[in-house]
Structure 1
Amino acid sequence: MSTKHPIISITGSSGAGTTSVKRTFEQIFRRENISAAYVEGDAFHRYDRAEMRHQMAEQAAQGNRHFSHFSPETNLFAELEDLFRTYGRTGTGVVRRYVHDEEEERLYGSPPGTFTPWERIPADTDLLFYEGLHGAVVTDEVNVAEHADLKIGVVPVINLEWIQKLHRDRSTRGYSTEAVTDTILRRMPDYVNYICPQFTETDINFQRVPTVDTSNPFIARWIPTPDESMVVIRFRNPRGIDFPYLLAMIPNSFMSRANSIVIHGSKLDLAMQLILTPLILQLVDRKKRAASHAPVPERVD
């Protein structure tokens, strides 16, 4: 963790909804005039699209049916940890982008499915903002989580996560239901070993729970809407969280445990604005105090 160069990390599986959470952070950054260095987790995959397909075919031929984007073998965990460590110390570091589609090809000048060259983060950003699969990953070799100042987990209940992934991959990537199902099954061991454990490292988890039947996600015709959902918000350390204020500001919310508040799904953006804005401003204020050599109050989780 760093006082002078804070890091915010959003972590969640493919289809979990981290991109939607990222948009809320972008709104807060714009409103509060905060300059963020954006880092996408896909940039730290080890293989580009063509290389990954080749590796998957080779692994399948050897009998490995669980080779996935979730594992240490297919990601640059050490490089991601080094970025967090270096940015925390110096306010800069090297990053690249993964080009997803033709629109991003026009922006970055690299073909879809490839990486842009590594480049240095400008030295004048207020904080680093990571969004991806492994923002709080811990293994025997690396500990990305310890370098982030605010870690947010986005983790819908599993059937909803699968529904969201199925609909996204079929509508935007042209995959069949069978192909997406195969991906889900192939990733399952790595999901259990490298995705789930991160949510014990996160400071706040947002878990969307549908209030409609999702018993068979593979035949669901629609993604449950926010109006058909509740959201459980869990704080790892509730110290400093003004729960009476949140309950008063968010209609029909209630406490389910001493560290958890439950809200209607349609109020998620409001809840995130109320919860996250003070935490972000606190990080920026501590940064300014450190830069001016003023006394810095203790971190409030």
Structure 2
Amino acid sequence: MSKKHPVIAITGSSGAGTTTVKKSFEHIFFRLGLKPLMIEGNSFYRYNSIEMQQRIARAQKAGKNFSHFSIEANLLEDLARTFKVYGETGSAKHRHYVRSDEDAKKLGYPVGTFTPWQKAPRGTDLLFYEGLHGAVRTETVNVAQYTDLLVGVVPIVNLEWIQKIHRDSALYGHKPEDITDIILRRMEDYVRVITPQFTHTDINFQRVPLVDTSNPFMARDIPTADESVVIIRFKDPLRFDIDFEYLRAMLHKSFMSRHNSIVIPGGKMGLAMEVIFRPIIERMIEDRKKA
């Protein structure tokens, strides 16, 4: 953790909605005039897309599962080192994973490959990470220890699957049955790697639909924000000076479900992030100036 060079990490599964949360943070950074170093979790994949498919095929032939959720499929020691070095120096090495044709045109490298590692420019105000493994702790690596704010994005699992199926179908042209196979293949790592992270996060956002999602593999639509509620859980409300009475006043129709959890209408999620995170980030920047 670092007062001088803060590190913020958003962690969640594929289809959880971390990209939407990332956009909310980007709006806050813009309004506060901050320059973040943006780090994407897929830039720490260990293998390019061809190598990954080979590894998956080899694992399946041996009766095992392998996925991007797996510890072994990612450079998590490098991710932890990136957080640590940035916290100490305000700079770090980074690269990009080329995920789409649009990325390929912009970055000049084929889809499914990586750009070369390069040193990030100095002068950024904080590091912002969005990906699968921002709060990972194992016997050999502890990514979470180098963060100043850890946020988990955790819709209930049926909703997460619906979102993933619709997203991957729309963006990448995948067939729903192929996406279902991916979900099943990743399940062991989801339980072993992804889920435990949300014990270590400082704040979790869990969206819960108020419509029937009992068969996510047949759902035609993603439940809308107005058809959902969001449970916001604070691991230690005192650490960030969370004023629940103020939150309840600002977020109409919200209520406390536990001493550290507030439930809000789904349509208020963006406002909730503004109300919760802006003061935290402002405090980080003030501490940074003092440091």
Q: TM-score, normalised by structure 1?
A: 0.95
Deviation at 1:159, TM superposition (A): 0.2
Distance across 1 between alignment mates of 2:209 and 2:244: 23
User: Which structure 2 residues correspond to residues 88-167 of structure 1 after superposition, within 5 A?
Assistant: 88-167=87-166
Q: Spell out the pairing of 1:9-24 with structure 2 (5 A cutoff).
A: 9-24=9-24
C-alpha deviation, 1:171, in angstroms: 1.4
SS in 2 for 1:21: helix
Stretches of 4+ moved more than 2 A in 1? none
Which residue of structure 1 lines up, in the alignment, with residue 7 of structure 2? Answer: 7
* Equivalent residue number for residue 248 of structure 1: 249
Give CA deviations for 1:59-84 in whole Å, capped at 9, x if unaligned: 112221x1111111100010001101
Residues 24-65 of structure 1 deviation map (CA, whole Å, 9 limit, x = unaligned):
00000000001100000000000111111111111112221x
When structure 1 is superposed on structure 2, of 53-62 and 138-147 the one drifting more is 53-62
Unpaired segments of 5 or more residues in structure 1?
291-301
Partner of residue 263, structure 2 = 262
After superposition, where does 1:5-44 map in structure 2 within 5 Å?
5-44=5-44
Report deviation, 1:123.
1.3
**C-alpha distance in structure 2 between counterparts of 1:245 and 1:113, whole Å:** 46
**Corresponding position of 2:185:** 186
Deviations 1:83-102 (A, max 9, x none): 01111111111111001111
Instruction: For 2:193 and 2:104, locate their aligned partners in 1 and report how far apart those are by CA, in whole Å.
Output: 30
Q: Deviations over 1:92-130 (max 9, x none)?
A: 111110011111112211111110000111111000000
Q: What is the rounded CA distance, in whole Å, between the counterparts of 1:252 and 1:61 in structure 2?
A: 53
1:232 alignment partner, SS class: strand
Q: Distance in 2 between matches of 1:59 and 1:136?
A: 26
Measure the CA separation in 1 of the matches of 2:266 and 2:276. 15
Q: Offset at 1:140?
A: 0.7
Aligned residues: 289
Q: Distance in 2 between matches of 1:250 and 1:94?
A: 40
> Alignment RMSD, CA only?
0.7
Match of 2:70 in 1: 71
Question: Partners in 1 of 2:75 and 2:216 — Cα distance?
Answer: 32
In structure 2, runs of 5+ residues without a counterpart are none
**What is the rounded CA distance, in whole Å, between the counterparts of 1:268 and 1:111 in structure 2?**
36
